[in-house]
Amino acid sequence: SDLVVVCVLDHRASRALLESEDVIQDLSGKTIVDLTSATPEEMLAQQAHIRERGGRFIAGGILALPSGIGRQDTMILYAGDGPAFDEHRRTLTCFGGALAYLGPDPRAAFHAYSTLGLFVEASVALFLEAATMARSYGISIDVYYRLTRTAQDLIHGRIRDCTGRIVGSQNDGEERSIDLRLRFTQALKALFAQTGIPARMTEGFMAHLKMASDCGHGSNDIAAIANALHNQSHVQGNRS
């Protein structure tokens, strides 16, 4: 086959496979799609190895558990050789129907799926924290789950609004400013403390609000947290 999909335990195993003598001799004209977890630097090195031997390389990142492979709603992110991706898109949808191509730099696959994975896992952690708080007030977790399903449109609406504000540099906080959110969250944390349940995710959210406020964004919308985080990265970079 002109298409070879690799998904093994780790990058060491993938590299050993693709650098074996028998495989090296047969890489010319092949498209190698590597779905194995790897660092950005390892992805670049793998791409160079394949290209040097006349092959085309695509890196991928799977945002699913093994049981999700083959489902139409499973997201797999790809980056690397664009013409090769277009050529084999139909076959790649067999692994996950919600696929996306992120450009020619294979590192983009890692950067996107690692940050999206963090977003998903942190969201689940926040649900578990909030649901545990709710249970302490007599709200069962199955009822709370149904409520979060109803809140999905609100969540996506807020994310869409924040994205638009960041893109358009519109940080006014006419609906609810960061300082107002900070005071409200502090009051909630004091209330939650009475349950004895650690509210680590809530504390992290408060820390971001306080950082943004300390950076002069207290009167701005919550989207200004992104600007504060970006500015902090530059400050840390200058210090180092």
E strands along 22-139, which residues? 31-34, 56-63, 75-80, 98-101
- For residue range 60-81, what is the model confidence (pLDDT) as tens digits? 999 999 999 999 999 999 999 9
What integer pLDDT is reported at residue 235 of this predicted model? 62
- The arithmetic mean of pLDDT across residues 175-181, rounded, is 91
- For residue range 96-143, what is the model confidence (pLDDT) as tens digits? 999 999 999 999 999 999 999 999 999 999 999 999 999 999 999 999
- For residue range 204-228, what is the model confidence (pLDDT) as tens digits? 999 999 999 999 999 999 999 999 9
What integer pLDDT is reported at residue 239 of this predicted model? 61
For the entire predicted model, the pTM comes to 0.86
Q: Which amino acid is residue 164, in one-letter code?
A: G
Rounded Cα–Cα distance for residues 72 and 93 (Å): 8
